[in-house]
Amino acid sequence: MTDTTPAPSSTIAIIGGGVMGGAIAAGVRNGGWPAEAVTVADRHSETLADLAGAHGLLTTTSVAEAAAGADVIVFAVKPQNAAEVLAEFGPHVKPGSMVLTIAAGLSASFYEARLPHGTPVVRAMPNTPALVGFGATAIAAGASATDAHLTVASRVLAATGLVVTVDEGQINAVSTVSGSGPAYFYAFVEAMVEAGITQGLDRDVASALARQTLIGAGRLLESSGATPAELRARVSSKGGTTLAALEAMGHAGLQTVVAVGLSAADRRARELAVELAGE
């Protein structure tokens, strides 16, 4: 059987030049794709001008034109507009092309039903730190996508940060942990800042300390090879202030609060799938 998997020299069309589409455009250019191999399609000419100026890539206001010439089509459109945009370019997808979608809430089968039969679809669930190259993205294969297509998807997304592979049935769980995770982090920083102010710190000082502490803790977790529990234990001396704080948080229900929050996010993700695609 002929291998039709997109090669490293593949042409890429990014449908949607918004925040995440722009981040992926920057990522593939930084990852070595030549300017003439990357096209961004968007209805807003100002957005296209900015992307062309920043990354030297090709642009068009026609999603059909972009898709027709691409080996890899990155679908970065709001899920509410997905059906309309797919109808516009779906008939122009050439045999052997794959679709990599970052739109939330829509299953691979949603795309497969609107694309030429057998089109490989890979779902991706990124998060906003991808904008600075520290994202966490999970990818999952649709019915016609192979391990080779997942490899291509990983290569496209590599410059945005960590990329892991999961089963499609786990995408909602990914959304609750890493997709929404940055917001949990920001909420915790906000809480630390307000607590610091209550205890007498200026807002600017409390903000700087909280921000850098959590960034540093993340870097240490990444580089040390230790588990979160091990790192927590290293700074939780018996009878000390850290242990006192952690015990108080535990008694206040920290673990329960996190579990309840993620459960609510998972439930809403399932509701959105029904609302957006009738699944």
Domain(s) of CATH 3.40.50.720: residues in the chain: 12-170
User: Pairing state of beta strands 121-125 and 135-141?
Assistant: antiparallel
Q: What is the pLDDT of residue 9?
A: 61
The amino acid at 69:
G
Q: How many CB atoms lie within 10 A of CB 57?
A: 23
Per-residue model confidence as pLDDT tens digits over 186-245: 999 999 999 999 999 999 999 999 999 999 999 999 999 999 999 999 999 999 999 999
Q: What is the pLDDT of residue 238?
A: 92
Per-residue model confidence as pLDDT tens digits over 82-134: 999 999 999 999 999 999 999 988 999 999 999 999 999 999 999 999 988 89
In whole angstroms, give the CA distance from residue 171 to residue 273. 11
In whole angstroms, give the CA distance from residue 217 to residue 206. 16
- Strand, coil or helix: what is 137? strand
Class of residue 69 by CB neighbours under 10 A (exposed 0-12, middle 13-18, buried 19+): middle
Domain(s) of CATH 1.10.3730.10: residues in the chain: 181-272
Q: What is the pLDDT of residue 2?
A: 40
- Strand, coil or helix: what is 6? coil
Q: Is the pTM of this model over 0.95?
A: no
CATH topology for the 181-272 domain: ProC C-terminal domain-like fold (1.10.3730)
In CATH, 12-170 is 3.40.50.720? yes
Burial 106-135 (b: 16+ CB within 10 A, else e): bbbebbbebbeeebbbbbbbbbebbbeeeb
